[in-house]
Copies of this chain bind each other. A is one copy, B any other.
Amino acid sequence: MEKVSENRCFDGRQLQFTHRSAVLNCEMRFGIYLPPQAEVRNVPVLYWLSGLTCTDENFTHKAGAQRVAAELGMAIVMPDTSPRGEGVPDDPDGAYDFGLGAGFYVNATETPWSEHYKMYDYVVKELPELIEAEFPVTDKRAISGHSMGGHGAIILALNNPDRYTSISAFSPICNPMDCPWGEKALGNYLGADKAAWAKHDASYLVRHADKQLPLLVDQGLADNFLVEQLKPEALEAAAAESGYALKLRRHEGYDHSYFFISSFIEEHLRFHAKYLG
């Protein structure tokens, strides 16, 4: 693990590291914010999963989350959104919605993607093991994310409910089995058999959840991707059907940008803090 940068921020430390990922078979970069409390005790961790085209840096620079994390005594870990580097295949057309920057938090089973695209295992297992070995953190984990990362947060946590205390999402892709982004990504990474897709679909998982985790979703109503790609109504219908206590909030005028995320990230951190203890 090699430190790329360190910046003091709200009396804590904003750090960036690279490390060799065995799971992804490439070098990866991640960001971590350690609040001032981490100088004297282990702190719980919020994992933040970013959306299409992002790296670890978008949330680090634009969300304004460090202020609240410093108050609450919460670390935040920001992984990249896909494997990277020489030898990692990309969308043949260089499209933004598949391949580099678009790992979709699944373990690919199809060639040529399966050699590197294992973001599910990376985020659920390998990265937390590294974080918990190297930093002053507890094994209490919450998870949140935006768009593709909101999808990731929900599916990773609902498939591993004992590993997370709580889930939140901004503008998540709620029903990837039934939207263009999801159909392209799941089809390419997992193959044509849709049976393999279901456990990567937030709405499916909410409909069939054995164990409920606290789940907060914020969605802007001026979001360009709302109708075609995000489909919060599918998640809402699934929750109604299974009796899942989903808290879904719609916000007039807000779009898909970090201006939306920054406006409500404080509430997400306070939501997770309740469950992280």
Which of A's residues lie within 8 Å of B, judged by CB?
7-11, 14, 61-62, 64, 66-67, 220, 222, 251, 253-255, 257-260, 262-263
Given contacts A7-B260, A66-B262, 15 further A-B contacts (CB under 8 A): A7-B257, A8-B222, A8-B255, A9-B259, A9-B262, A10-B262, A10-B263, A61-B61, A61-B62, A61-B258, A62-B62, A64-B64, A64-B262, A66-B259, A67-B262
Determine how close the nearest CB of chain B comes to the CB of A197; give it in whole angstroms: 33
Task: Look across to chain B and name the residue whose beta carbon is closest to the beta carbon of A222.
Answer: B8
Determine how close the nearest CB of chain B comes to the CB of A102; give it in whole angstroms: 22
Which of B8, B62, B220, B263 is in CB contact (< 8 Å) with A253? Answer: B8
Contact between A220 and B262 (Cβ–Cβ < 8 Å)? no
State how many copies of this chain the complex holds: 2
- The distance in angstroms between the C-alpha atoms of A64 and B258, with both chains bound, is 11
By a CB distance below 8 angstroms, the chain B residues around A64 are 64, 67, 262
Determine how close the nearest CB of chain B comes to the CB of A232; give it in whole angstroms: 18
User: Which one of A11, A255, A257, A259 has the highest number of Cβ atoms from chain B below 10 Å of its Cβ?
Assistant: A259
A67-B262, A262-B67 known; A7+B255 contact, CB < 8 A: yes
Task: Look across to chain B and name the residue whose beta carbon is closest to the beta carbon of A70.
Answer: B263
Determine how close the nearest CB of chain B comes to the CB of A65; give it in whole angstroms: 9
Contact between A14 and B259 (Cβ–Cβ < 8 Å)? yes
Complex A-B: 24 CB contacts under 8 Å: A7-B255, A7-B257, A7-B259, A7-B260, A8-B254, A8-B255, A8-B259, A8-B260, A8-B263, A9-B260, A10-B262, A10-B263, A11-B263, A14-B259, A61-B61, A61-B62, A61-B258, A64-B64, A64-B67, A64-B262, A66-B259, A66-B262, A67-B262, A67-B263
Contact between A8 and B262 (Cβ–Cβ < 8 Å)? no
- The distance in angstroms between the C-alpha atoms of A64 and B70, with both chains bound, is 15
Determine how close the nearest CB of chain B comes to the CB of A87; give it in whole angstroms: 32
By a CB distance below 8 angstroms, the chain B residues around A259 are 7-9, 14, 66
- The distance in angstroms between the C-alpha atoms of A260 and B9, with both chains bound, is 6
Task: Look across to chain B and name the residue whose beta carbon is closest to the beta carbon of A220.
Answer: B8
Task: Look across to chain B and name the residue whose beta carbon is closest to the beta carbon of A257.
Answer: B7
- The distance in angstroms between the C-alpha atoms of A241 and B208, with both chains bound, is 74
- The distance in angstroms between the C-alpha atoms of A173 and B64, with both chains bound, is 26
The 5 closest A-B pairs by CB, nearest first: A64-B64, A7-B259, A9-B259, A8-B253, A8-B254
- The distance in angstroms between the C-alpha atoms of A222 and B6, with both chains bound, is 11
Task: Look across to chain B and name the residue whose beta carbon is closest to the beta carbon of A65.
Answer: B64
